Amino acid sequence: MASTAGAPVPPPVPRTGVAALSPRYQVAAALALAVVGVAACVHLLMVFLSLAPANTVTKQHGKAVEDWVFPEFEQNWKLFAPNPLQQNIAVQVRAVVRVKDGGLRTTGWTDLSAQDGDAIDGNLVPSHTQQNELRRSWDFFTATHSADNRPVGMRGSLSEQYLRRIVVMRLYRTYPADREGVIQRVQIRSCTTNVQPPEWSRERVSDQPVYRVLPWWTVTADEAAGGVR
């Protein structure tokens, strides 16, 4: 039998990943992964409960589920059959601005949806905000209001506040406070136009826009301050 005495000892295999950390940091990494895992599981459970039929959990804790999911994580299936969207809906806004001399001025209508469209057009990686923030806030509002713009259910006021904060923030980009003044009130409307069928189709739809005009809303001090920032 050949002797192994004097044979070189192979170098130790270097530790990588979490194993390369000191014990204290290994514990911290494990805790961080556990927190992320629990948060992911809670989020998936909340989204599932928001979509599932009414059950014992949603009857007892429905408010907590809604507060977690809406409006940022609300699910929507309008892209798919049998009722895909066949309309273009633009959200527009105008404002009453108190200018530096103390007078009030009413702006013209600003097409916020067109601004998003311009930002997305030709952009290979458009942001989630440009694609969905305004659109989803309007969907949230219409889902919680009747045709005469009255809130339906407990989320009506929340949807109004959410939509108003977004348009005020966007208006301050168009009308900076240090130049134009302070926004006092806003009015929002939607402009809906039908997508025209292809030339070979015999279907005929109106090409005239239909407007849904909301009442004037007073901008709160918190919303004005958030817009200026």
**Spans of all domains in the chain:** 19-69, 87-228
Long-range contacts of 66-73 (CB under 8 A, 24+ apart): 66/154, 66/155, 68/43, 70/140, 70/155, 70/158, 71/136, 71/137, 71/140, 71/158, 71/159, 71/162, 73/43, 73/46, 73/47
Q: What are phi and psi of 200, to 5 degrees?
A: -80, -10
Q: Please tell me the distance from the alpha carbon of residue 112 to that of residue 87, in angstroms, as a whole number.
A: 17
Each residue's pLDDT tens digit in the chain (229 positions)?
555 556 676 666 666 666 667 778 878 888 998 999 999 999 999 888 887 777 888 888 888 888 888 766 766 665 555 556 678 899 999 999 988 888 899 999 999 999 999 988 888 888 888 888 999 999 999 999 998 999 887 888 899 999 999 999 999 887 766 667 889 999 999 999 988 877 787 778 888 999 999 999 999 888 877 665 5
- Rounded (to 5) percent helix, strand, coil in the chain: 45, 15, 40
Both ends of the chain: CA-CA distance in Å?
81
Peptide bond into 209 cis (omega under 30): no
Helix, strand, or coil (residue 217): strand
Q: Look-up: residue for tokens 């429905």?
A: 62
Structure-token pair, residue 202: 């015999």
Q: Please tell me the distance from the alpha carbon of residue 149 to that of residue 141, in angstroms, as a whole number.
A: 9
104 forms beta bridges with 98
Q: Please tell me the distance from the alpha carbon of residue 229 to that of residue 154, in angstroms, as a whole number.
A: 30
Tell me what pLDDT residue 164 has. Answer: 93
Tell me what pLDDT residue 68 has. Answer: 84
Rounded to the nearest angstrom, the gap between the alpha carbon of residue 139 and the centroid of all alpha carbons in its chain is 10
Tell me what pLDDT residue 76 has. Answer: 63
